[in-house]
Amino acid sequence: MIIENQLSSKPYNSFSADVDLQTVITLNQKEELFLISDILKNDVKVIGGGSNILLTRDINETVLLIDTKGIEVIKESDAYVLVSIAAGEVWHDVVVWAVENNFGGIENLSLIPGKTGAAPIQNIGAYGVEIKDVLHSLKAFHKQEGVEYIFQNKECAFGYRDSHFKGQWKGQFIITEVVLKLTKEGHHKINSSYGAIQSVLERKAIDQPSIKDISDAVIEIRQSKLPDPKVIGNAGSFFKNPIIEKEQFEKILDQHPHMPSYPAGEKVKLAAGWLIDQCGWKGKRVGDTGTHKHQALVIVNHGNATGDDILSVSKQIQLDVKSKFDIDLQPEVNIW
Ligand code: EPU
């Protein structure tokens, strides 16, 4: 455990926003949580990879950086492995480990920024797979009670970019460990349903894709469409894709027959990136912020944008989408 004072936030958030962090505790072993249980009872802000936060003010609360490490197979059968992963492991490192071992289930989630402990909070998802599809259970430390709980998948109430950890339990727990149920090659059903993956496989003339082929395809697609946060600050999709009533969907479709949409139970999910693009925002720049040239859903920091600059562009986008489509976009990113 390391305790430091007065740090710049710049290295700790993928937007590269620069605010003061008054006190920062870096956690290397989860057992250290018990040593600081009194501090945790106060308002503590937890940062994993910092890839889903927008910092708009100096942080006077204690910041806890999760840097615990460890990937371990805890159970194995002919077809499956249960793998326990420390919350501080970089998510993509876990994917690389799984692909190298021919364990299937998370290859579609390649190259998603952030650390493993944050992944279940918003149920990360991409290219037809969400972490909820492979999450067996997780461990989480209750800040007020000072005890660690085990939650099974069903208890987390996973939904589209959602879970109890974002909803009714928000701010109460620190996720310490995630257990995934991965499938051994030969028993694993590849998910290549997403059009962009199919195009890459066709171009490479791959008929029977392996777990690694899917991971490689996803990496290629993401690198071609999404900005690398190390080069251009961003937090991936800034907004969630809105889910609307069928009636409203039909009305918009009348005006925009080529609008992309996806079934969502009784309702319909729209592509926020498309809506923002239609408002003329794709690739638009306002000072040092704006949206990415290949994906209007990604708000970027071209250099020295502050959290407030980014927030103000996001609000302008919300107003424009509201006035053109009568749809309220909800941020996917946490705004501090
Ligand atoms: N589109 C446009 N213009 C744009 C952006 C998108 O017309 O500027 C259209 C695309 O052509 C496509 C549709 O909108 O028809 C959807 O775009 P895309 O396939 O890029 O996916 P998305 O819905 O924008 C979601 C996730 C991404 C994930 C991709 C791939 C959310 C909020 N975002 O994006 O997740 O990688 O699907 O599965 O659900 C993230 O959460 O940070 C993230 C990057």
Report the DSSP beta bridge partners of residue 234: 300
Residues 6+ apart with CB under 8 A from 187: 78, 79, 80
Tokens of 131: 């972490």
Residues 6+ apart with CB under 8 A from 223: 111
| Residue in the block written with tokens 């638009």 | 284
Whether 37 sits among the annotated catalytic residues: the reply is no
Residues having CB closer than 6 A to ligand 1 are: 126-127, 236-237, 240-241, 260, 271, 273-274, 277, 282, 295-297, 332
Phi, psi of 173 (to 5 degrees): -120, 155
Q: Which amino acid is at 190?
A: I
**pLDDT per residue rounded down to tens, the chain (336 residues):** 999 999 999 999 999 999 999 999 999 999 999 999 999 999 899 999 999 999 999 999 999 999 999 999 999 999 999 999 999 999 999 999 999 999 999 999 999 999 999 999 999 999 999 999 999 999 999 999 999 999 999 999 999 999 999 999 999 999 999 999 999 999 999 999 999 999 999 999 999 999 999 999 999 999 999 999 999 999 999 999 999 999 999 999 999 999 999 999 999 999 999 999 999 999 999 999 999 999 999 999 999 999 999 999 999 999 999 999 999 999 999 999
Residue 252 exposure: Cα atoms within 13 Å on the Cβ side: 24
pLDDT on residue 43:
86
Q: Is there a contact between 286 and 310 (Cβ–Cβ < 8 Å)?
A: no
The best mutation among 226, 237, 240 to test binding of ligand 1, ranked by most ligand atoms within 8 Å of the C-beta, falls on 237
**Closest residue to atom 2 of ligand 1, CA basis:** 274
Phi, psi of 264 (to 5 degrees): -140, 75
State the Cα–Cα distance between residues 264 and 177, nearest whole angstrom.
30
Tokens of 175: 């996720």
The best mutation among 274, 282, 299 to test binding of ligand 1, ranked by most ligand atoms within 8 Å of the C-beta, falls on 274
pLDDT on residue 168:
97
State the Cα–Cα distance between residues 304 and 276, nearest whole angstrom.
23
Q: Which amino acid is at 21?
A: L
pLDDT on residue 61:
95
Atom of ligand 1 nearest to the CA of 235: 42
Concatenated DSSP letters for 227-291? --TTTSEEEEESBPPPEE-HHHHHHHHHH-TT--EEEETTEEEE-HHHHHHHTT-TT-EETTEEE
* Count of beta carbons in the 10 Å neighbourhood of residue 316: 14
State the Cα–Cα distance between residues 213 and 195, nearest whole angstrom.
15
Distance 5 CA to ligand 1 centre (A): 38
Residue 126 exposure: Cα atoms within 13 Å on the Cβ side: 22
> Taking CA 303 as the corner, what is the angle to CA 275 and CA 242, rounded to the nearest 5 degrees?
20
Helices (H), the chain: 32-35, 37-40, 91-100, 195-203, 211-225, 246-255, 272-278, 307-325
State the Cα–Cα distance between residues 112 and 257, nearest whole angstrom.
32
Whether 332 sits among the annotated catalytic residues: the reply is yes
Any idea how long the chain is? 336
Q: Is there a contact between 6 and 22 (Cβ–Cβ < 8 Å)?
A: yes
Distance 273 CA to ligand 1 centre (A): 6
